[in-house]
Structure 1
Amino acid sequence: MTPSAGAPAANAIRFVLLAVLIDSMGFGIVMPVLPDIVMKLGHVDLPEATRIGGWLGVVYAAVQFLTGPFVGNLGDRFGRRPVLLGALAGFTADYLLLAFAPSLAWLFVGRALAGLFGASFGPAGAAIADISAPDERSRYFGMIGAAFGIGFIVGPAIGGLLGEFGPRAPFYAAGALSGANFLFGLVFFPETLSSGNRRPFSLARANPVGAWRSLGKLHGVIPLSIAAFFWQVAAMIYPVTWAYFAIAAFGWTPGIIGASLAMVGCLMALSQILLVGPVVKRLGERASVAVGIAGATAQFLCYTIIHDGWMVFVVMLLMPIQSLVFPAINGLMSRKVPPDAQGELQGFNGSIAAIAAIFAPAIFSPALAYFTSPGAPFQFVGIGFAMASVLALVSLAILLLAGRRPDQMPPSTAR
């Protein structure tokens, strides 16, 4: 079935995009008040709350890494509808749990649950793969990325305003959004995976190692997943170090930093809506990924050498090129996987993103801290972007060296 097949497919696409938008809004809404909640419940100062906040992020990413393939395999067995609706109901309960959390330990429980339910982004991507033709998938994956980006712009802004009514108010709002999303899906979201494309649930495949072994039997998937990992670590340079880099390099205030992040989000969202489809259609998925990584590498290198703050906004004009990478590489990988394993693939991709989110702070933050400290042999504020450019080039090399056998629909993976 393709999006042109009628109202059910159109409704499914609308719901998936709306679900991603609202979920990312809900996640973003609580970000501005997390430090206050941590300080209040933990009875700690801001530096200690920052450290605890880092561990909360690690817990979220670690759970998502472990459970992504599990949730994806559930979708391949029972369909996308029950998995996605169950995740939305879980998100609603999680936000309400956090709103009433009586201690710091409950915040960690809430972040772990958010990691589990956040793994539903895999089934969301699989639902798009179910109902779109291979040539159209990159465009729709780009729209998913745009929905996520828009939500991440709007969410923190709303959360900042609601935070004026108390640090728990944004959690109530996030819970209400997720609850409304669940009710909307309950009425309008049709099942996208046909019974003929389902397979028995396999516990051996429902974990990162098992998914690696299973998908490794399909030509070209693992090299692409390794390229995706290096790319995602490189791309994490922005959320991990941007605020610290901007202060160290240009002495920016929080207002300017926020404006720069908003500009990045807007550029990424618009380009994923307007640019990805036409470019991928013209160049193909593999070439689009290569162009995107090359453009991002050029941008990283520019950030290592610029010395005036106004130059940042000029370099940002390269950002739309980078927006090609995620949807095109996801579309390329989905071509190599049969219909009964699309959920497994998307869940595995979620695990890759999660481990990248754990790995990136471990290398970028210490490097930036060291090369901006008084004891460093020389000052190098752009060290993180230099490292990101190397990682991006590694990703590009793997992509270009990977086999180029023509893509064809592989056989079912059911065993």
Structure 2
Amino acid sequence: MNFAPKRPREAAFVFILITVALDMLALGVMIPVLPKLIAEFEGGDLRSAATVTGVFGFSWALMQFLFQPVLGALSDRYGRRPVVLLSNLGLGLDYIFMALAPSLGFLFLGRLISGITAASVATANAYITDITPPEKRAGRFGLIGAAFGVGFILGPAIGGVLGDYGLRLPFWAAAAFSLANALYGFFILPESLAPEKRTPKIVWRSANVLGSLHFLRSQPALAMIAGALFLSYLAHESLPALFVLYTQYRYNWDPGTTGWALAIVGVSQTVVSGGLVRPAVARLGEKKTLAIALVSGALGFAAYAFAPTGAIFMAAPPLIAMWGMANPSFQGLATRFAGASEQGRLQGALGSLRGVSGMVGPLFFTQIFAGSIYFGAFPGAGYFIAALLLVASLMIARAAIKRSTVQAP
């Protein structure tokens, strides 16, 4: 029985924000305890636990890469509501499964399942596209980014506190967040995609990685925008991959200093995503906002790479935070190249690009850092490469905009 109203309303957008925030909160809650639980299963062997943790992270990103297009295609066929709700339900049940995992193998299986069910972010983005006029989409995608930030800021803090009382307690908390979200959405969330706008059948050729990439190539300008977005995604992977290692090596930061610095970075990015994207796009348009964001990000990464002291290094996070306007602008532009019945596939395809960067980026940047230390060369090489990636992203994006017929709002 469907208790949701027939027409989308503002409560639906609020629910999507809550959904994304709780999903990220649930993921963040596990960050402080998952490696410790793995180490416990490995008999306290930290070296082995580090290797297994890396495998867990790669596998989770791989599931995102493979299943974002699938869930996007399913939402184009059956609507956004059932995909979002079932994903929340599945994620909650999976956290319970991991909380009860009797062995490392079961924990790994649970992590794979969470990678699949957490792939509903693409469907959430498609939902936003359904209920938002094109000229306002970038602003709302910015609010989605802010919800991401809130989840990742609060999640690890909550997980750390709960983890002191038991390594499995954060998993139960994550399950409670996701199941409460599913129950709330069952009564509140309306369907955003009208039946007449849905695809008559699932387009399976687009519901896989190769098919989704082919979909992005359907229009040259869209392919170029997707390529520019991928370079931006790849540059972003330098932040989680290098921040702790780089600041410890170059500035001799202790864990407490690193934690405060990461909190400042997270808060800065959340403020920009939630408070600056909408007015910037409204005043400047998506194209100029995108250019400002990418230039700011490139300057921020260059500052990271060359900062001689930790104090100067911490002057760069505001520039990196300004770069947070790029992703909503990219997505806002991309949505104009897809019809109402294709937004799920589009968001799934863009999500797959993020999955690729999540698999490739950490390995790429950590090896660059390791090599630079080994040869006694430039320790900021990884961040400098990230800056170059954003310069390349800007050049490709400008070429795509010139080639397209998309008009700035």
Kept in 2: contact 1:123–1:346 (CA 8 A): yes
State the match for 1:36 in structure 2: 36
Per-residue deviation, residues 273-316 of structure 1 (Å, max 9, x unmatched): 11101111222112211211111101111111111111122122
Mapped partners of 1:49, 1:75: distance in 2:
37
Q: How many angstroms does 1:236 deviate by?
A: 1.1
Counterpart-to-counterpart distance in 1, 2:288 and 2:47: 45
Q: Distance in 1 between matches of 2:395 and 2:110?
A: 39
Report whether the alignment pairs 1:394 with 2:392.
yes
Q: Does structure 2 retain, via aligned residues, the 8 Å contact 1:22–1:178?
A: yes
SS in 1 for 2:379: coil
Distance 1:131 1:49 in 2: 45
Pairwise mapping of residues 162-181 of structure 1 onto structure 2 (< 5 A)?
A: 162-181=162-181
Work out whether residues 139 and 276 of structure 1, in 8 Å CA contact, stay in contact via their aligned partners in 2: yes
- The answer (yes or no) to whether the contact 1:219–1:336 under 8 Å persists in 2 is no
Flag structure 1 segments of 5+ consecutive residues without an equivalent: 409-415
Distance 1:214 1:314 in 2: 41
Q: Give the 3-state SS of the residue equivalent to 1:284 in structure 2.
A: helix
2:406 paired residue number: 407
Question: Helix, strand or coil: the match of 1:143?
Answer: helix
Corresponding residue of 2:21: 21
Which residue is equivalent to 1:345? 346
Deviation digits for residues 354-410 of structure 1 (CA, Å, limit 9, x no counterpart): 10011111210011112123xx1x3322111011112111211111122533228xx
What residue number does 1:221 align with? 222
1:363-378 counterparts in 2 under 5 A? 363-373=364-374, 376=375, 378=376
**Cross-structure match for 1:412:** none
> 1:244 Cα shift?
0.3
In structure 2, the partner of 1:156 is 156
Write the letter of the residue equivalent to 1:361. Answer: P
Single out whichever of 53-62 and 7-16 deviates more from structure 2.
Answer: 7-16
Q: Is the 8 A contact 1:248 1:372 kept in 2?
A: no
Q: Does 1:128 align with 2:128?
A: yes
Could you tell me whether the CA contact under 8 Å between 1:41 and 1:102 is conserved in 2?
A: no
The superposition leaves residues 203-231 of structure 1 with CA deviations (integer Å, 9 ceiling, x where unpaired) of: 11101211222332235211111111111
TM-score, normalization by structure 2: 0.95
- Runs (4+) off by over 6 Å: none
* Equivalent residue, structure 2, for 1:191: 191
Cα distance between partner residues in 1 of 2:124 and 2:330: 16
Match of 1:91 in 2: 91
Contact kept? 2:146, 2:273, Cα under 8 Å: yes
Q: Output the CA distance in 1 between the equivalents of 2:406 and 2:9.
A: 25
Instruction: Tell me the residue number matched to 2:296.
Output: 295
CA distance in 1, matches of 2:189, 2:302: 44
Amino acid at match of 2:38: V
Does the 8 Å CA contact 1:63/1:115 hold for their aligned counterparts? Answer: yes
For residue 44 of structure 1, report the CA deviation from its aligned partner.
4.5
Give the equivalent residue in structure 1 for 2:242. Answer: 241
TM-score by length of 1: 0.94
> Residue 160 of structure 1 aligns to a residue in which SS?
helix
Name the residue aligned to 1:231.
232
Contact 1:71 1:119 in 2 (8 A): yes
Give the percent of matched residue pairs that are identical in Structure 1 and Structure 2.
35
Q: Distance in 2 between matches of 1:125 and 1:394?
A: 26
Confirm or deny: 8 A CA contact 2:301 2:320 kept in the other structure: no
- Letter in structure 2 aligned against 1:90: G
Residue 161 of structure 1 aligns to which amino acid in structure 2? V
1:340 Cα offset (Å): 0.4
Secondary structure of the corresponding residue to residue 193 of structure 2: coil
> Which 10-residue stretch deviates more, 314-323 or 211-220?
211-220
For 2:227 and 2:69, the matched residues in 1 are separated by 16
Shift of 1:45: 1.3
- Secondary structure of the corresponding residue to residue 120 of structure 1: helix
Paired with 1:157 and 1:119, the residues of 2 have a C-alpha distance of 24
Whether the 8 Å contact between 1:218 and 1:337 is mirrored in structure 2 is: no
Q: What is residue 116 of structure 1 aligned with on the other side?
A: 116
What's the CA shift for 1:8?
Answer: 3.5
CA distance 1:18–1:52, change in 2 (3 Å) = same
AA at the equivalent of 1:407: V
